[in-house]
Each structure stands twice: as C-alpha cells, then as structure tokens.
C-alpha cells in the first residue's frame, strides 16, 4: 500500500480539463440475478472523464468500481446481468450496443489493464504474439508489421532487449515486466480510453512507482483518458486528476484530487484517509479501520448506505440518515446530510489532526 502523508503530499491541482467529456456515464445501474435475489452492484452512478485526464475511482472491495468498468467494456454476461443507463464513449452509446460493435471498440478505442498480468496473459503464446494480434486485427496490418509494433511497444514500456524478449513466454518475465507487457498490449492500438484496474496492487513499491510513472508518460504521449481503479488513496494522489469515491454501488464523493484529499467532505472518505499508514506517523500508532463491513448489495441499507458504519448520524438535523437517501450534487461535493459547515468543521477539528 502506498502511504499518504500530509497535505504536502497532495499534488498541486493540474489545470482543469476542457469540460468536454470523452466518456460520459449517466444513471448507470448494474444488477445481477442470483439464486438469493438481485445484487445491486451499481445503483445509479454518473461521472465523466475527459481526454488527457485521469479519474481515480476509489472504494473498498464490493463498492462497484470494477463492475462499473466491466460495464463500460461490455464484458458482463447479458443473461445474468441487467445494465441500464447511458454510457457514451465519444458520443457513441455503449449500453445495449451489439457485441460486434463492442468487440471493435475493445482494444482499439478502449482497453483495460488488469490487476494480475499472469492470469490476463495466455501462457501458451509469446508476449510478442499477444501484443501483435490485437494490432493486426484492428489495424489490418501484416504479421511482420504487427511484430515490429510489438517490439516498439515493449521498448516504449521499458522492457530491455525488446527484439529478443518479444519471443519470450509470460512465465519468462518477472511480475513487473509482465505488468509492463500488459500495458503494452493495452496501448498497442493507441486507445482513447484506458481502464486500469488495480494495476499495481500485486507489485512491490519500487516497481509500482515505475509503472505509475510509465502510465503518466504514456498518457502524455497518447492523450488517453484514463480510469484508474484502486482502494489506495496514496496511489490516487500520484496518478489521478479527479477522484470518485464509491460506496455500496454509489458515488459518495467527487472532486479534483487536491479538493478531495485536502478537504474531504464525506465520513467514508475520512475513514479511508484515517485508515491509511502515514510516513510521518508514529510507528507504534495503530491505524483506525472503518468499523463494520461493507453493505450487503442484496439488501442495501435504507437511507444513506453508510449509516450503519457512520459516527455522525446523530449530528444530522432535519433529515434521517436511516430513511433519507443523500444525493451527490453535480460537480464537487459529497452525498451526505451534514451541512457544509459541519463537514468543514468535523474535518478540520477531528480528522485533519489525525492525518498530520
């Protein structure tokens, strides 16, 4: 896990984006039919990502981060999954799009980097072939051209001796090199949207930093929009421009990285921050986990989904955390019934001192 230390570690805000969403998700619902009932994995989610910017989606396991992104890629089984809402990629509607259309877009216009390269790469084919094949398929080039492109991509992601290593199988690469190879595979067709799902979780901290730098460099070169999924706010601070905090299949807070990390507004975000190790902290200091468990997606709590774990329920006046669902405002904000003044005061007086 990356450590986040104090305000000084939060990057200065980058210039705001153009405001033109390359990917626009509106009122997305993803429900799975199971023997026990309907699992509401994503329950009314909206967000935008612009070209050249990185949106970090953060939340615990089961918060709906990965399910959201599999929906964008159209990778759910339509027989067991109901996806509704609007997913516009460069103006093109993906919800309900035909599999052939999605197949053309995957790898070409949008691509994904998975957490575990060893299971994402086939053990039966060389690294080079796995990079070259999608390029050949989408670009209609010859085998030789695709092979040269695979070598070029391996070089771009920093694999030494790419002309030789292109003929290696995945098991001949180290974990960090396999992750780089998967990035090369994802970027080979210059996708406009790159979805990275916990791409550095399995790597040691040094390699993790190298991979994050590589993604930033490649984004500058290709101008891709990136969605970066992680449970680690330290990683988000390093790579993202904007943050979406998810809880129980819903977005509970959003804003730019500097806004959310310098003045978070939602009690769940406060919990994520205070449960992280800090470089400046006392080594004997115990971390404060968020008590309780993530909500059941089969029978989500009424009102605010965070209320069974929230220590601020009694502070809310005029609304009921157990009955009234708080809405996430457009733009910067948090889905919480506390007043703006309460959010600011509780953060400054109770949370911030624990982060320094």
Q: Which helix (H) or strand (E) holds 45?
A: strand 37-50
- The answer to whether the beta carbons of residues 297 and 59 sit under 8 Å apart is no
The piece of 188-196, 217-225, 284-292, 331-339 that touches ligand SF4 (CB under 6 A) is 331-339
List the 37-50 sheet strands across, edge first: 37-50, 21-34, 81-89, 92-93
Shortest distance (Å) from residue 65 CB to ligand SF4: 19
For residues 105 and 310, which CB has a smaller minimum distance to ligand SF4 in the complex? 310
Asked if 247 is part of the footprint of ligand SF4 (rule: CB under 6 A), the reply reads no
Q: Which long-range contacts (CB under 8 A, 24 or more apart) does 215-222 make?
A: 215/183, 215/239, 218/156, 218/157, 218/183, 218/187, 219/52, 219/54, 219/194, 222/187, 222/190, 222/191
Q: Which of 87, 153, 316, 328 binds ligand SF4 (CB under 6 A)?
A: 316
The piece of 17-25, 103-111, 185-193, 307-315 that touches ligand SF4 (CB under 6 A) is 307-315
Q: Is 341 exposed, middle or buried (0-12, 13-18, 19+ CB in 10 A)?
A: exposed
For residues 92 and 293, which CB has a smaller minimum distance to ligand SF4 in the complex? 293
For residues 191 and 326, which CB has a smaller minimum distance to ligand SF4 in the complex? 326
Half-sphere exposure of 43 (CA within 13 A, CB side): 24
Shortest distance (Å) from residue 307 CB to ligand SF4: 4
Q: Which of 337, 346, 347, 355 binds ligand SF4 (CB under 6 A)?
A: 337
Q: Which helix (H) or strand (E) holds 120?
A: helix 117-120
Q: Which of 166, 212, 313, 355 binds ligand SF4 (CB under 6 A)?
A: 313
The piece of 36-44, 194-202, 213-221, 330-338 that touches ligand SF4 (CB under 6 A) is 330-338
Terminal Cα distance for the chain, rounded = 18
- Tell me if residue 40 falls in helix, strand or coil: strand
Asked if 270 is part of the footprint of ligand SF4 (rule: CB under 6 A), the reply reads no
Q: Which of 40, 307, 333, 346 binds ligand SF4 (CB under 6 A)?
A: 307
Asked if 51 is part of the footprint of ligand SF4 (rule: CB under 6 A), the reply reads no
By the criterion CB under 6 A, which residues form the site for ligand SF4?
Answer: 266-267, 304, 306-307, 310, 312-313, 316, 321, 326, 336-338
């Amino acid at each position: 896990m990356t450590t986040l230390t104090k305000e000084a570690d939060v990057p200065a805000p980058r210039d705001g984006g153009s405001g033109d969403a390359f990917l626009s998700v509106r009122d997305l619902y993803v429900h799975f039919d199971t023997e026990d009932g309907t699992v509401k994995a994503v329950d009314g989610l909206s967000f935008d990502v612009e070209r050249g910017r990185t949106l970090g989606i953060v939340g615990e396991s089961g918060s709906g981060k990965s399910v959201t992104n599999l929906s964008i890629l159209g990778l759910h089984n339509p027989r067991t999954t109901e996806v509704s809402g609007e997913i516009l990629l460069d103006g093109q509607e993906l919800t309900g799009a035909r599999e052939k259309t999605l197949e053309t877009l995957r790898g070409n216009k949008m691509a994904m980097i998975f957490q575990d390269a060893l299971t994402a790469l086939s053990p039966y084919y060389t690294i080079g072939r796995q990079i070259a094949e999608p390029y050949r398929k989408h670009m209609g080039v010859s085998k030789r051209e695709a092979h040269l492109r695979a070598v070029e991509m391996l070089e771009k992601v920093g694999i030494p001796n790419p002309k030789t290593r292109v003929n290696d199988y995945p098991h001949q690469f180290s974990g960090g090199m396999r992750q780089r190879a998967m990035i090369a595979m994802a970027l080979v067709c210059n996708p406009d949207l790159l979805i990275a799902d916990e791409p550095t979780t399995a790597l040691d901290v040094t390699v993790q930093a190298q991979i994050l730098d590589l993604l930033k460099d490649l984004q500058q070169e290709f101008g891709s929009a990136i969605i970066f999924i992680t449970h680690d706010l330290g990683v988000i601070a390093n790579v993202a421009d904007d943050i979406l905090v998810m809880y129980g299949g819903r977005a509970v807070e959003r804003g730019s990285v500097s806004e959310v990390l310098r003045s978070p507004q939602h009690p769940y975000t406060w919990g994520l921050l205070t449960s992280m190790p800090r470089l400046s902290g006392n080594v004997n200091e115990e971390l404060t986990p968020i008590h309780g468990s993530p909500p059941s997606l089969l029978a989500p709590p009424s009102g605010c989904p965070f209320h069974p774990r929230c220590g601020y329920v009694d502070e809310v006046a005029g609304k009921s955390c157990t009955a009234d669902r708080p809405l996430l405002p457009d733009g910067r904000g948090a889905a919480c019934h506390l007043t703006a003044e309460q959010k600011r005061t509780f953060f400054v007086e109770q949370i911030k001192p624990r982060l320094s």
